Structure 1
Amino acid sequence: MLLIITEENAGTRLDTVIFENSPKDVTRGSIQTQIKEGEVRVNKKRIMRNAEKVKIGDRIVIHFAEKEPDYVPTAENIPLEILFENDDLLIISKASGMCTHPDNTYKSGTVVNAVMGHLKNHQQEFIDEETIRPGIVHRLDKDTSGCLMIAKNKKTHRYLSKIIAERKVTKKYQALVLGRVPSKKGTIDSPITRDPHNRERMTTLKNAKAKDALTHFECIAQYPQPTATLVDVHIITGRTHQIRVHFSAIGHPVYGDDLYGNPKVNSAYCVQFKTDRMFLHAKSLSFPLENGEIISVESPLPVDLQGILDKMEIDENYEK
């Protein structure tokens, strides 16, 4: 298995990041044994420390003794909404409900499958050894829509990983959150770590494993029924579920978020607006190319999310 480290995993222990991306039948203990026995390579170098911290762009290779992945990504004819494209880079507006890359649950219908179909005759350079995540330098959650960039080759993958690590990529989102956020503008500065009681969740618990996470936000509008605030969000870091975790932590979870939100509130929201998706959209990306040119792309709010706002009565007395 080839694993390429993205921003959300940077700073994690080597054994932990492998375990979190391994088949379900692989134990942490077996991974730690393989590391200690020199069977894991990072950037082609044998690393024998379980606690070694990985960096963005690191290429980790591990071979599982009994069960290799029984699938590789295949090209699929899936339409893509392309925001920008050149010989090295593709930026799309990902649809809600679409996974960024295949995993043990979703082996097809992902962005990777769609991009392979789009590139057609150029797949060889895009396909990267054993990885099921070719070209992926950052990701969006399955139910989050919007701007996503994909590298078409290894050189661009290294460059994009580098500027993400250097925080030269500006990523902005829009979300509808529960309740009235009291501050017009604000910053949520809370480290994020995996929830020790539920591996699917992240949390703002402060411990040695937590990674710094910084979220800026600005309130755009408020609504009395259901009580909600529309926020523009600028994330400085790119931790797993960062926006969802941070807004839940301050008591304003994203509407429709089944993992961090209130079940009763979400149920009423889904019934009222006839939707089954979370109200979170990656609205823009901006970053420099290697030649210094600044690329800025925007993805308008999807029709279904805009339709929800159109049905809500805005608070005319709210002052931005």
Structure 2
Amino acid sequence: MSNPPETSRPRTFGLPWPELNDGLFYNDVVRPSDSELTLIEFYSSKYKNSAPPLGWMQRIENGQITVDGIAVTDPNTILRVGSEIVYHRLPWREPDAPYLLEVLYEDDDMVALNKPSGLQVLPGGLFQQRTVLTQLQWRASKQSSSVACQEPHPVPVHRLGRGTSGILLCAKTKLAKTRLALFFADGTSQIEGNRNTNEEICGVRKISKMYRALVTGILDEDKVMIKQPIGMVRYPGVAKGLYVASSSGKPALSKVDVLERGMQGNTTLVQVEIQSGRPHQIRIHLSFIGHPLLAGDPLYVSGGQPKCFDPEFIDESFATDGGYQRPIKPVPGDCGYCLHAHQLVLSHPTTNQVIKITAPLPPVLRTQKEAEVNTSN
């Protein structure tokens, strides 16, 4: 097993975020099935998760939509087959987010980052520019300007929740991206292929991920295997639906080891190894067994379900840009819990060398012994 080599490149990088982002442009070409629709009918039916009908009406009347390059403010304009229509989402100030990233490991094929809590990995929702991907692209652009050949833009090959800190692995070449994505998918496919939950998963995995988490309550057992399937339900403010513990969902497996019990604070520090990659899997699984993440997961409560909500309720009020208001109830990207991607062991995508990468632990996720060692150093 190889430890990450020293690198001559800066150990941290990142540029401060501009006050406003650049806005977004959404392009569509009118298909035969959409011909004869009015402009308002097209957008309010095709993109109803973006804004209510009155919000789309406002955007049209503001001149934010063009048809074949010409701004159209009449919502009843009839669309013709082959016309290009473009919606311009105006620039906005995204919520505050960290921007500095620490490099834990880097070579010609990949880079491993220590992602801070509060930073989103890929664009989505209100965060379109303030993401890890943007900082990676800015860094690659700066590097390529100093060399003769263009260096490919690195891209994350998996996700971490916005509130989750720790190791984020990114590929720097197409080959590395393909192979690393297969490594991450391998564990999930093994779980899916083994429906008998009483069997252990066999075979050598190319990648393993260890997380640290602080949960509410005292776990009685030293080791817990959680095999609860994860599915989706409708949820306000989450267009594609919310992942929850569901008997009809897809198989998922998490191995939990107790590291330290905090009897005074009624908390347990655990290490979690996930052998499948369902979204929010650790948050859902730990809450499913009655131990949600500290300092209070804003979304998931005991049972692996979201806090009380009405799945039929949709707030039709809209913000100044015509889109839906930010949901009052918690959504998956909200921060406030203690979860850290601590260790990653993988076979290198081109050399097959086994590499172990470790992200320093936040103080709240250290055992008492680890805290004492850190203080003495």
Shorter-chain TM-score bucket reads 0.5 to 0.7
Superposed, 1:302-317 pairs within 5 Å as 302-303=362-363, 305-306=364-365
- State the match for 1:121 in structure 2: 143
Q: 1:122 to 1:67 in 2, by over 3 A?
A: same
Superposed, 1:249-288 pairs within 5 Å as 249-255=288-294, 256-261=296-301, 277-288=336-347
Q: 1:234 to 1:68 in 2, by over 3 A?
A: farther
- 1:259 is displaced (CA, Å) by 0.5
Q: Is the 8 A contact 2:269 2:365 kept in 1?
A: no
- State the match for 2:49 in structure 1: 24
- 1:187 is displaced (CA, Å) by 0.5
Q: 1:197 to 1:142 in 2, by over 3 A?
A: closer
Q: Is the 8 A contact 2:143 2:151 kept in 1?
A: no
Q: Is the 8 A contact 2:344 2:356 kept in 1?
A: yes
- State the match for 2:275 in structure 1: 236
Superposed, 1:149-168 pairs within 5 Å as 149-167=169-187, 168=206
Number of aligned pairs? Answer: 229
Q: Is the 8 A contact 1:214 1:236 kept in 2?
A: yes
RMSD of equivalent CA atoms = 3.2
- State the match for 1:147 in structure 2: 167
- 1:225 is displaced (CA, Å) by 3.0
The letter of the residue matching 1:189 is K
- State the match for 2:246 in structure 1: 205
Q: Is the 8 A contact 2:210 2:271 kept in 1?
A: yes
Q: Is the 8 A contact 1:85 1:91 kept in 2?
A: yes
- 1:92 is displaced (CA, Å) by 0.6
Moved over 6 A (4+): none
- 1:26 is displaced (CA, Å) by 8.7
Could you tell me how far apart the structure 2 residues matched to 1:23 and 1:148 are?
33
Could you tell me how far apart the structure 1 residues matched to 2:100 and 2:301 are?
31
Instruction: Give CA-to-partner distance per residue, 1:277-305, whole Å, 9 cap, x none.
Output: 311110011110122101110012124x3
Q: Does 98-107 or 214-223 show the bigger shift?
A: 98-107
- 1:153 is displaced (CA, Å) by 2.2
1:301 maps to 2:326? no
Q: 1:231 to 1:117 in 2, by over 3 A?
A: same
Q: 1:196 to 1:206 in 2, by over 3 A?
A: farther
Whichever of the two has the greater Rg, that structure is 2
Could you tell me how far apart the structure 1 residues matched to 2:343 and 2:290 are?
26
Superposed, 1:34-113 pairs within 5 Å as 66-67=85-86, 78-113=99-134
1:173 maps to 2:211? yes
Could you tell me how far apart the structure 1 residues matched to 2:277 and 2:286 are?
15
The letter of the residue matching 1:278 is Y
Q: 1:250 to 1:156 in 2, by over 3 A?
A: same
- State the match for 1:291 in structure 2: 351
Q: Is the 8 A contact 1:90 1:151 kept in 2?
A: yes
Q: Is the 8 A contact 1:78 1:117 kept in 2?
A: no
Q: Is the 8 A contact 2:208 2:345 kept in 1?
A: yes
Q: 1:103 to 1:196 in 2, by over 3 A?
A: closer
Q: Could you say what secondary structure the match of 1:109 adopts?
A: coil
- 1:155 is displaced (CA, Å) by 1.6
Q: Any gaps of 5 or more consecutive residues in structure 1?
A: 2-21, 28-63, 128-133, 265-275, 311-320
Q: Is the 8 A contact 1:126 1:135 kept in 2?
A: no
Q: 1:107 to 1:225 in 2, by over 3 A?
A: same
Superposed, 1:124-139 pairs within 5 Å as 126-127=152-153, 135-139=155-159
Could you tell me how far apart the structure 2 residues matched to 1:82 and 1:170 are?
19
- 1:23 is displaced (CA, Å) by 8.8
Q: Is the 8 A contact 1:189 1:214 kept in 2?
A: yes
Instruction: Give CA-to-partner distance per residue, 1:50-107, whole Å, 9 cap, x none.
Output: xxxxxxxxxxxxxx974568699xxxx9432110001120101100000011223102
The TM-score with structure 1 as length reference comes to: 0.64
Q: Is the 8 A contact 2:209 2:343 kept in 1?
A: yes
Could you tell me how far apart the structure 2 residues matched to 1:211 and 1:125 are?
38
The letter of the residue matching 1:302 is P
Q: 1:197 to 1:110 in 2, by over 3 A?
A: closer
Could you tell me how far apart the structure 2 residues matched to 1:302 and 1:219 are?
18
1:226 maps to 2:265? yes
The TM-score with structure 2 as length reference comes to: 0.55
Could you tell me how far apart the structure 2 residues matched to 1:183 and 1:67 are?
57
Q: 1:66 to 1:169 in 2, by over 3 A?
A: farther
